[in-house]
Amino acid sequence: MLIAANKAVSIDYTLTSDSGEVIDSSAGGAPLVYLHGAGNIIVGLERALEGKQAGDEVKVAIEPADAYGEYSAELVATLNRSMFEGVDELAVGMQFHASAPDGGMQIVTIRDIEGDDVIVDGNHPLAGQRLNFEVRIVEVREASEEEVAHGHIHGEGGHHH
């Protein structure tokens, strides 16, 4: 069975930076299971896997535009510590939900703290980076009607309600 929209796909993968640093991997764990065509993985990897089948191996470099986007300096802001009402201790690396410019919600990460100034970054940690994937397709199956309706895979390796 070929990978296409509304297929449940199981993959083993290793994600590395251009310098060869392992960023993420399924090695030593269960395969990643996702619903193809539902936006569950980055668009560039989904495109690279389209039409493949169980047993295929894919090595692909995904440019930022097809991954987590280019890094945007506009998503970095300096806020006053008082904006974090109810949080006793602030630390670099902490993440918070904040209003996005489009009115939605986004996650911001504290990048630096200078006195009462807290520098937050709304970019994804991998924004602006080329992502290198080595993928082995483990299984491709029809997704259930419920999985398609919910937009994700249920059960082992997937979402549990």
Domains of the chain: 7-68+127-150 (3.10.50.40), 73-121 (2.40.10.330)
Mean pLDDT of the residues in the chain: 93
Three-class DSSP category at 147: helix
Burial class (CB in 10 A: 0-12, 13-18, 19+), 46: buried
Average pLDDT rounded to a whole number, residues 98-125: 90
pLDDT attached to residue 161: 44
Average pLDDT rounded to a whole number, residues 16-27: 96
pLDDT attached to residue 150: 93
Nearest to 135 by CA among 53, 63, 76: 53
Query: Do 46 and 87 meet the contact criterion of CB atoms below 8 Å apart?
Result: no
Dist. CA 101–CA 70, nearest whole Å: 16
pLDDT attached to residue 157: 52
Band of residue 18 on the pLDDT scale cut at 50, 70, 90:
very high
pLDDT attached to residue 101: 73
